[in-house]
Amino acid sequence: MINKDSLKARANNLAKELNVSQNVIYNRFFYDAFLSRLAVSKYKNKLILKGGLYLSSVLGIDARSTMDMDFYLRKVSMEKEKIVTLIKEIISIDIGDDISFTVVDSSNIREDDLYGGFQVIMLAKLDNVKYQFGIDIATGDPIFPSERSYNYKCLVTGEVLPIKAYSLESVVAEKLETVLSRGIANSRSKDYYDLYILNKTQRTYINNDILREAYRQTCNYRNCSISKVEALNLIDLIMNNEHINKRWIAFGKKVKYAENLSFKDVVNIIKYWIDVCY
C-alpha cells in the first residue's frame, strides 16, 4: 500500500523517467484511485471512460497528459441528484488504500459543451496530500460499434483495472467532427494533436470501415453536414490561419510532446482521416 512518502518518491522517479511534472503524476494517482473504486462498483458497466484520461492511458502520459476525467453515462437518467448519489456510492467503497474522497460541489457541465451533462467536483486525500478535481459526466453521442472492454493500467501502482471505455473509432470520429464543425473558431490545439498522435500510434488498431460508420453516426447525431470538398477546404483554411498557428506554437511550448511538431504535418494527418471518413 502506498503512503504519502512512497507516493512522493514514486512521483519524483516517474516525473524524471517520463519527463513530466510531479503534479501530473499526483493527478493521475488520484484519478486511478477513483477508477479502482469504479472497477469494483455496480456502475462499472454504466460509466464509460472517454476524453483526456482515456487518451492519456492509451497513448502514455508522456504523449498525452490531462487534467480531465470524462465519462459517458449509460442506462442512468441524467439528473444531477442521481449523478451525485452515483458518485458518492463509488467513492464510499473501501479498497484499503487509505485514500478518501469528498464531493465538494456539482454543477451543469461547462457552457461551451454542446451536449450538456454534469460536473462533480471532488477532494481526494492521502494523509496530508490533497487534490481537487472534477469528473464530467454526459451522454448523447453514439458509440460505434459499442464501448470496449479495456484494461486500464494505473500509473503509480501498476494495477490493471477492467473498465469500459470508448471505441477508438468513436474517439477519432468525434474529434474530427469537432475540428470540422468548429472550423477556425476552434481554440483547442489538443484536438489537432489528438488526431495526429492517434494516427501515429493507434492506426493499426483502428478499423477504417468502422471509423467511417462511427463518423457518419456522429455527424448525424450532431446535425453536421460537411462534404469532403468542404472539409478539405476548411482544413486548408485552418492550416493557414494566423491565430490558430500562433496558438499551436504556444501549445508546443506548454506541452513537451508537441513542441517539435509542425502544424502543417499535423494538418496533413487530419487530411488522412478525412480521406478515410469520406
pLDDT of residue 172: 98
Q: In sequence order, what are the residues at sequence separation of 6 or more whose Cβ sits closer than 8 angstroms to the Cβ of residue 238?
A: 179, 183, 184, 186, 244, 267
pLDDT of residue 155: 95
pLDDT of residue 67: 75
Spans in the chain with pLDDT lower than 70? 110-116
pLDDT of residue 29: 96
Query: What pairing do the DSSP bridges indicate for beta strands 47-50 and 69-73?
Result: antiparallel
Render pLDDT for 187-211 as a digit per residue (tens, 0 to 9): 899 999 999 999 999 999 999 999 9
pLDDT of residue 113: 52
CB 174 within 8 A of CB 72: no
pLDDT of residue 65: 86
Give CA–CA dist 278/273, Å, rounded.
9
- Tell me the three state secondary structure of residue 121: strand
Render pLDDT for 11-35 as a digit per residue (tens, 0 to 9): 999 999 998 889 999 999 999 999 9
Side chain identity at 234, as an amino acid letter? L
Q: How many residues does the chain have?
A: 278
pLDDT of residue 140: 82
Side chain identity at 52, as an amino acid letter? G
pLDDT of residue 117: 86
pLDDT of residue 110: 56
